[in-house]
C-alpha cells in the first residue's frame, strides 16, 4: 500500500514530517476529518464529504475549511493514486498552539492523505463484504456537544471496535443513553423489519453518514420502503435482517449479531443493488 500526503499546497510522501508536535489535533484531539473512497482515480461523493467536513468544523467551533482548496487537493491526490482505487482522508485541526493558549490564536492545519488499496465499495472491483456486528457495553451520548461531528477525538470508536474484534466481530454497534439503536463505530446501522428498512434519526446521536444519506435519497426516489425511525436496541438484538452503511463499504448486509447468524433481507438486497447501480452512474452524486 502506498500513501500520498497533501500539505501546504504540495503533494509529499508519507515519510515526510509535516505537522508540528504542538498541533491541537495531536495534543487534545481538537480537529475534524472526513473519509471517502477513490474509484477510477476520483473521490466518490466528494462534494458531500467536503460539505460534511464543513458542518463538522462549524459544530466543533473551528474556522470553516477552504472548500475550494480541499476539493482541489482531494482531486489531485486521487488522480495520482497508484491503481486509481483507495481511501482518501481530509483532516482539519485547530492548528499548532502552546499549552494554555486560547484556541482563537491558532492557524488551522489542513492535511489530506490518500492510500492505494482495494476497497469494497460497489463502484470498485470485487464483491462487497458482509459484516459481523457486536453490540458493545458502552453508549453514545446523544446530548454530547460533538453530536454530528466526525471528530479526530476517536478514542471511543477505537475501543468499541477493538472490543468487537475480540468477540469475533468486524464492527461495533452502540446504543444511546435512551437504549435506542444509535450507530456503528464507523458506520450507520439499518434494521429490516415488517417489510421496511429502518435507520435511526439523527436525533439518536448518530453521525449523518454520506452513504446513509444516499441510501435514504435513492430509495425514496425508487419507491423502496426505507425510512428513519427510532429503533430500540433490543429490536436489533432480536433482528432477522440488518445492514450497515459507510463510505468504504457502501451498504452491506449484516451476517451476524453478537455471534447469532442472520440472513440478508429482501429489502436490503434491493437497496444494495440500487446503490451499486446509482454509484456506478455518478461518482459525485
**How does pLDDT run across 72-91, given as a tens digit for each residue?**
999 999 999 988 899 999 99
User: What residue segments make up the domains of the chain, in order of their start?
Assistant: 3-116, 131-281
Which residues on neighbouring strands pair with residue 244, listed in sequence order? 189, 252
**How does pLDDT run across 178-208, given as a tens digit for each residue?**
999 999 999 999 999 999 999 999 999 999 9
Q: List the alpha helices (DSSP H) in the chain.
A: 24-27, 46-59, 67-80, 155-166, 210-222, 233-237, 266-281
Strand bridging mode 3-7 / 226-228: unpaired
Cα 40 off chain centre by: 20
Q: State the average pLDDT over residues 252-260.
A: 96
Residue-averaged pLDDT of the chain: 94
pLDDT value, residue 106: 85
User: Which CATH fold would you assign to the domain 131-281?
Assistant: D-amino Acid Aminotransferase; Chain A, domain 2 (3.20.10)
pLDDT value, residue 120: 72
Burial of 21 (0-12, 13-18, 19+ CB in 10 A): exposed
Percent of the chain whose predicted confidence (pLDDT) is above 90: 89
Q: What is the pTM of this model?
A: 0.94
Confidence band, pLDDT 50/70/90 cuts, at residue 124: very low
DSSP string, 65-89: P-HHHHHHHHHHHHHHSGGG-EEEE
pLDDT value, residue 121: 67
Say if residue 2's pLDDT is above 90: no
Distances from the Cα of 206 to the Cα of 46, 132, 186, angstroms? 21, 19, 10
Say if residue 3's pLDDT is above 80: yes
Q: Kindly state the cell numbers that stand for 2.
A: 502506498
pLDDT top residue among 27 and 124: 27
pLDDT value, residue 102: 84
The Cα diameter of the chain in Å comes to 56
Say if residue 133's pLDDT is above 60: yes
Burial 103-113 (b: 16+ CB within 10 A, else e): eeebebbbbbb
Burial 213-240 (b: 16+ CB within 10 A, else e): bbbbebbeeeebebeeeebebebbeebe
- Out of 3.30.590.10, 3.40.50.280, 3.30.470.10, 3.20.20.70, the CATH code matching 3-116 is 3.30.470.10
Amino acid at each position: 500500500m502506498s500513501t500520498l500526503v497533501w500539505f501546504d499546497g504540495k503533494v509529499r510522501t508519507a515519510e515526510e514530517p509535516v505537522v508540528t508536535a504542538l498541533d491541537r489535533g495531536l495534543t487534545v484531539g481538537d480537529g475534524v476529518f472526513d473519509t471517502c473512497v477513490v474509484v477510477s482515480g476520483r473521490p466518490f461523493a466528494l462534494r458531500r464529504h467536503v460539505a460534511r467536513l464543513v458542518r463538522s468544523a462549524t459544530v466543533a467551533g473551528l474556522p470553516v475549511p477552504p472548500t475550494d482548496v480541499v476539493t482541489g487537493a482531494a482531486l489531485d491526490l486521487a488522480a495520482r493514486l497508484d491503481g486509481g482505487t483507495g481511501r482518501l482522508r481530509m483532516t482539519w485541526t485547530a492548528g499548532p498552539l502552546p499549552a494554555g493558549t486560547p484556541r482563537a490564536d491558532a492557524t488551522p492545519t489542513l492535511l489530506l492523505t490518500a492510500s492505494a488499496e482495494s476497497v469494497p465499495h460497489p463502484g470498485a472491483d470485487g464483491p462487497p463484504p458482509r459484516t459481523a456486528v457486536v453490540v458493545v457495553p458502552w453508549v453514545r451520548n446523544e446530548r454530547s456537544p460533538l453530536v454530528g461531528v466526525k471528530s479526530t477525538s476517536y478514542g471511543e470508536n477505537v475501543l468499541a471496535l477493538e472490543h468487537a474484534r475480540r468477540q469475533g466481530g468486524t464492527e461495533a454497534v452502540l446504543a444511546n443513553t435512551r437504549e435506542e439503536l444509535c450507530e456503528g463505530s464507523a458506520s450507520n446501522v439499518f434494521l429490516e423489519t415488517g417489510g421496511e428498512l429502518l435507520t435511526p434519526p439523527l436525533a439518536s446521536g448518530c453521525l449523518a453518514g454520506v452513504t446513509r444519506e444516499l441510501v435514504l435519497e435513492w430509495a425514496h426516489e425508487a419507491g423502496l420502503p426505507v425510512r428513519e425511525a427510532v429503533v430500540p436496541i433490543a429490536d436489533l438484538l432480536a433482528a432477522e435482517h440488518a445492514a450497515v452503511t459507510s463510505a468504504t463499504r457502501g451498504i452491506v448486509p449484516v451476517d451476524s449479531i453478537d455471534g447469532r447468524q442472520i440472513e440478508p433481507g429482501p429489502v436490503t438486497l434491493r437497496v444494495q443493488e440500487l446503490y451499486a447501480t446509482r454509484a456506478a452512474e455518478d461518482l459525485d452524486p
